[in-house]
A and B are shown apart, each in its own frame.
Chain A
Amino acid sequence: MLRFLIRRLLLVIPSLIGLMVLTFVLVRVVPADPAATLAGENSTRQQIEEIRAKYGFDRPLYEQFAIYVGQVLSGDLGNSAFSNRPVAGDVLRTLPATIELVFIALLIATLIGIPLGTLAAVRHNGLLDHVVRVTTVGGLAVASFWFAIMLQLLFSMELEWLPLRGRIGVNVGAPPTVTGFFLVDSLLAGNWTQFTSSLRHIAMPAITLAIPALATIARFARAGVLDTLQRDFVQYETAIGYPRHRIIWVYVLRNSVIAAVTQVGLLFGALISSAVAVEAIFDWPGLGSYAVQAILSSDYKAVLAVTLVVGVIYAVVNIVVDLVHGLLDPRVAEQL
């Protein structure tokens, strides 16, 4: 398993280098005058020249790339044109909120999606199966931001069950930072009010985000289970006396979820994308909101930093998914 991990990590290095090349190209090569773009709209001639010197735009391209890589690796992602603070700091500050949101969304999607898909497959062509098929296609067609607004209309404005926006009640206050995840930190601090407030605030954003993920997971689980049910070992296990519920929920499930699990990696990336709009709607102080604000204020450095960070997270998640895949299916671990 360790060998597998090392091999997988080595594979990811070229991707990360590629990612940096991509962002480098976006920053330096594409704009007509990168220095001016970086400096921001209202910069003076002198500021532009300073930036040109600092980032070495007058030097050959490969030197510029080397400088860039050096900067990134040392954590220098530039200063925000908007706030004038280091972008890296902003990103670190806002990232946990997004991760927490995406994580809860994936949790919901998996905990509901896999059993749902399995049941639909077991009762193939039954009523539940048809309902699941229709709703999963619908779930992928729904615009997250619109759905978020509909949820707000119903649960916040009409029924007043859930708070409209934010991450925690204004009067409640955030728990002391340990992990940056409010749900965890509030429990660690033993503060029940903070916990329930966090929970109530994360409900709608997480559900909104979960919808397309749930649809995808349910579809793959269903297809996986349908496929697995045809395989010989299912009939064998029935013949030697395994109870049906064990066959489905233990022995078939593990074979089927492999396809669904590998989707989780892709889903993570998709959810971070969707989080951009969802965070904007719920005023969720995460990376997505930061990105939106950066876009609207043409804060170029910030947008690119977000791109880079998201790309890295995506790569890391894919490694984890591969690891889990290897754990679930021992044949895969030997191949890689």
Chain B
Amino acid sequence: MTAPLLSVSNLAVSIRGDEGTASILDRVDLVIPKGRIVGVVGESGCGKSTLIKAILGVLPLRSRIDRGEIVFEGRDLAHLDPAILAREVRGSAIGFIPQDPFLALNPVFRVGAQMLETMRWHAPPHWKGQHRQRLVKLLGAVQVPDPEGALERYPHEFSGGQRQRLLIAAALSCQPRLLIADEPTTALDVTTQQQVLKLLRDLVAELDLSMLFVTHDFGVVAQLCDEVSVIYAGQTVEAAPTRGLIDGAAHPYARMLLACHPDRATDLGGIPGSVPSAFAPPPGCRFHPRCPLAITDCAATRPALEAQSTGHTVACPRYALPLPEAAA
């Protein structure tokens, strides 16, 4: 079995704020095998964005990686010199697709200039002199109309969907091995969303890439991802191939989350309780205050991810138990 492209183990990240220290990530484990699309699902505030920032090395100023490793192509990014991260990883080996196409692009520069800037610093040396041509071809591949003209226009001249395509092209411009997408379809309407998802699927297959796709929407995961990992309050609670998770989720949180999905929910009730504040996280398993299966032990020890079946891991010793009627 070949080594995974990216392997995050036991990652913990905290941020120092005015009100104290917030423990955003407590134990995150994630594996992205080569050539696969891995989804990371969680509600708002669960730390998905922080996970991405930790991998890319763009955590905000007062934050720290407390624990853990982020091994990418054999190197631990968590302990890598920031200069090397900037030069050799961001933009070149790892491409990034941001969440909000309306805010990501710099409004006072032409789109072409912005995309060429990445290529200027990260494109392979033998591409010298070809940047523009390659970019035009790439824009064609992401279905941006009139690629040559598009390069000369400003961001505000494009629609949301078009901008998202531009951002996808930008992420691919230097032939990365891993694509990280931060909920890139959230800000778009449903039809556009579908188009962009299809585009991503095709591109990943065609270019033989790996992708880390962060989202809060299980529906998107079902369409796009090969494998999926569920995060709650900064802890990974379950990881499995997509079909395996959706059909047979094990962790109580994952089960309840799936049950709430509009396609499945029979009533409007969500999961009782609310996501804990990162400044005062519950000890042990962070879901235990809201978990119908919780016992006293759950508050004492942080459960480890254990294999339930092949490729399917759960961080809950009581996963086999059925949920009480009301919550199922």
Contacts and interface: CB of A to CB of B under 8 A. Distances in A.
A237 interface: yes
Given A232-B103, A330-B154, A241 B90 contact: yes
A239 B90 CA distance: 6
Contacts of B95: 240
A241 B86 contact: yes
Contacts of B210: none
Interface string B93-135: 0011010100111111100001001100110000000000000
A239 B98 contact: yes
A308 to B, nearest CB: 37
B171 interface: yes
Q: Which of A231, A232, A329 has the most CB of B within 10 A?
A: A232
Given A255-B106, A331-B107, A236 B117 contact: no
A142 B91 CA distance: 48
A255 B108 contact: yes
B161 to A, nearest CB: 18
Interface string A230-246: 01110111111111101
Name B's interface SS.
mixed
Contacts of B122: 241
A251 B170 CA distance: 16
B58 interface: yes
Contact of A251 (B86, B98, B109, B171): B109
A331 B109 CA distance: 11
B325 to A, nearest CB: 45
B117 A246 contact: yes
Given A243-B86, A331-B156, A238 B105 contact: no
B108 A236 contact: no
A237 B90 contact: no
Nearest to A246: B117
Contacts, number: 68
Interface residues on A, range: 20 to 34
Contact of B170 (A240, A258, A329): A240
A239 B118 CA distance: 10
A303 interface: no
Contacts of A235: 58
A231 B108 CA distance: 13
B104 A232 contact: yes
A8 interface: no
B56 interface: yes
Contacts of B91: 240-242
Interface in A295-336: 328-331
Contacts of A232: 98, 100, 103-104
Contacts of A133: none
B58 A237 contact: no
A239 B100 contact: no
Contact of A236 (B92, B98, B154): B98
A243 B121 contact: yes
Given A239-B90, A241-B86, A330 B108 contact: yes
Given A233-B106, A255-B107, A331-B156, A240 B96 contact: yes
A251 B155 CA distance: 14
Contacts of A242: 91, 117-118, 121
A254 interface: yes
Interface in A231-272: 231-233, 235-244, 246, 251, 254-255, 258
A236 B114 CA distance: 11
Contacts of A240: 90-91, 95-96, 118, 170-171
Contacts of A254: 108-109
A209 B98 CA distance: 47
A221 to B, nearest CB: 16
A258 B171 CA distance: 29
B103 A233 contact: yes
A139 B153 CA distance: 41
Contacts of A328: 108
Nearest to A252: B106
A238 B58 contact: yes
A241 B103 contact: no
Given A241-B91, A241-B118, A242-B117, A236 B86 contact: no
Contact of B104 (A236, A330, A331): A236
B209 to A, nearest CB: 16
Given A232-B98, A254-B109, A255-B108, 19 more contacts: A231-B103, A232-B103, A232-B104, A233-B103, A233-B107, A236-B104, A239-B90, A240-B91, A240-B96, A240-B170, A241-B86, A241-B121, A242-B117, A243-B121, A246-B121, A255-B106, A329-B108, A330-B154, A330-B156
29 contacts: A232-B98, A232-B100, A232-B103, A233-B106, A233-B107, A235-B58, A236-B103, A236-B105, A237-B106, A238-B58, A239-B58, A240-B90, A240-B91, A240-B118, A240-B170, A241-B86, A241-B91, A241-B118, A241-B122, A242-B117, A242-B118, A243-B86, A243-B121, A251-B106, A254-B109, A255-B106, A258-B108, A328-B108, A331-B108
Interface of B: 56, 58, 86, 90-92, 95-96, 98, 100, 103-109, 114, 117-118, 121-122, 154, 156, 170-171, 174
Q: Which 6 A-B pairs have the closest CB atoms?
A: A241-B91, A232-B103, A241-B90, A236-B104, A239-B96, A233-B106
